[in-house]
A and B are shown apart, each in its own frame.
Chain A
Amino acid sequence: MTATTASAEPTRRDFLYIATATAGAAALAASVWPLVSQMNPDQSTIAAGAPIEVDLTPVAEGQVIKVFWRGKPIFIDHRTPKEIKEARDVDWHTLPDPQSDEARVKEGHDQWLILIGICTHLGCIPLAHQGDYDGWFCPCHGSQYDTAGRIRRGPAPANLALPPYAFLSDTKIRIG
């Protein structure tokens, strides 16, 4: 290949090369897309992830129950006044993932703490009413959460996540 043969003006051939390569790249991307996309949740999995309703009447004060939504454990914690007080007495601005207790519950339903029960570190399930903060303790790598499910100590980077949910009545919630 010698530089002298390259003309200053793009030729018809240059155009054809670029057009063919572009079409080829587009075809390749279009062929790869289904191969990548098939790994995402399929229609039945998405359908099975529909919202669920939970009746809160059987959950006694101080009790934590676990329900499953989208294969994830959801903690429903009927908090005692002491636990609520503990969660509200700390200066939340100083916490690793600063969030007030009020922001983590629905107004008027302060006793109900609804959490996705998955440690934000690497996905283990924390144990209720354990650890130094009376909240949750993750047995895998020692993360500790308080009575509002906020990370207080350990390797987890964030508070326990809140699922999307709404109170249908005072004793019934819909998760999802």
Chain B
Amino acid sequence: MNENAIYRPEQHAIYQPKNRSLKWLEVRLPILSLAHSSFVAYPTPRNLNYWWAFGAILSFLLGAQIVTGVVLAMHYTPHVDHAFNSVEHIMRDVNWGWLLRYAHAVGASMFFLAAYVHMFRGLYYGSYKDPREVLWILGVIILLLMIMTGFMGYVLPWGQMSFWAATVITNLFSAIPVFGESIVTWLWGGYSVGNPTLNRFYSLHYLLPFVILGVVVLHVWALHVSGQNNPAGVEPRSKQETVPFTPHATIKDLFLTVVFCILYAWFVFYLPNYLGHPDNNIPANPSVTPTHIVPEWYYLPFYAILRAVPNKLLGVLFLMASIVILAFVPWLDTSKVRSASYRPLYRQFFWVFAAVCVGLGWLGSKPAEGNYVLAARVLTAWYFIHFLIILPLLGLVERPKPLPASISEATLRKAPGAAVASGAAAPER
């Protein structure tokens, strides 16, 4: 990590190791002062709400997935003849195996849930806008990596849903003109999904979380260069408008992580299979396709988009586009105002968009027939209209509410009690 970019002299000065050996280390590798300026002294806007805690929740979940995943790998056998049984072995024989597996499987769902909340937070408060475009794009890259990792992990138990998910998803590439078939054969390492496929998915499923971790480091780095956005969407203008990360953000993040863990634990202990699919308790059978194939809930909106398009290649392109388009949001949104709190029209369109995403998710779980297809087409169209037409247009036609001059003003409007603390500090810089 290039520490110059997050080096802030005024904070750096705060941390001076007293201990002799720590001083010795500091001269040779200033990792303690880096950690201190990043996670202790780092100034966070004082008006952050709980929606800002999901980054911490996601960090926790990534750690939890890696820890449970590494230990599950100690008991799992990546072979078509043994994979299904080795998962049953984990469930029945391995000490606490059931807990580890359920924590990992439910953890994937929780990971996506938290990521979606985190993304909608960013969309609502305009966190992708100048100067946070790269931060946002890194997030989109993390989402793509999560989707790949989650998919490959789902294949490993080698049940019916695993096998057919692998078949359907790899076949998406057969839509590519001319090279499609060769690419699919290359992905499979055979003429159909088989043992080579399972082996490479296992290898990549183990690798990708660490790639995610690497991109998360970049994501956090970019965040610490630009500083956090906040509900008011105006930059902190003085020291008094920020609070140090520790203890303020640390405790707040920790608290919401614990609350989130209640939900997580509730699923792990009471509804461990609710988010899965019963067909995956049937060993993979290449000769029979389950009657109703649906992906895990977190892919359903994308799946609905795929099925809404009546042409195979176009369907695949729309599916890809629905994710890639997110990377362009910083430029599609032409409004200079960040927070939806000051954008009356965008605020409404945001909730319509959120409802469209939920609607697509619901439709993705329904059979592709009749009115479901029609509805999926309407919502797919709206999904793209939102990004390609509404976002660019709103910036031109919308008349935003007057922005607060500062974070202090924004918070004072709401909470007169805070006046004593921050009122005097407004125009310091």
Contacts and interface: CB of A to CB of B under 8 A. Distances in A.
Interface stretch (B16-24, B183-191, B249-257, B392-400): B183-191
Instruction: Provide the main secondary structure of the chain A interface.
Output: loop
Contact of A123 (B171, B292, B369): B171
A82 to B, nearest CB: 27
B287 A122 contact: no
Interface string A134-162: 00001111100000000000011100000
Nearest to B316: A122
A66 interface: yes
Interface string B173-184: 010000000000
B30 interface: no
A106 interface: no
B301 interface: no
Interface stretch (B107-115, B149-157, B304-312): B304-312
Instruction: Provide the main secondary structure of the chain B interface.
Output: loop
A140 B172 CA distance: 14
B404 interface: no
Nearest to B370: A142
A139 B164 CA distance: 12
B11 interface: no
A62 interface: no
Interface string A109-123: 000000000001111
A125 interface: yes
Nearest to B171: A123
B312 A125 contact: no
Interface in B128-161: none
A71 B190 contact: yes
A144 to B, nearest CB: 11
A41 B291 contact: no
A72 B191 CA distance: 7
A70 B196 contact: no
B315 A155 contact: yes
Contact of A42 (B171, B187, B189, B287): B189
B281 interface: no
B185 A40 contact: yes
12 contacts: A40-B186, A41-B189, A45-B191, A68-B286, A71-B194, A122-B312, A124-B164, A124-B289, A125-B287, A140-B289, A141-B368, A155-B311
Interface of A: 36, 39-42, 45, 49, 66, 68, 70-73, 120-125, 138-142, 155-157
Closest 10 CB pairs of A and B: A71-B192, A70-B191, A123-B171, A124-B289, A122-B168, A122-B171, A125-B289, A123-B167, A157-B312, A45-B190
Given A155-B310, A156-B312, A157-B311, 8 more contacts: A41-B189, A41-B190, A68-B287, A70-B191, A120-B312, A123-B168, A141-B307, A155-B311
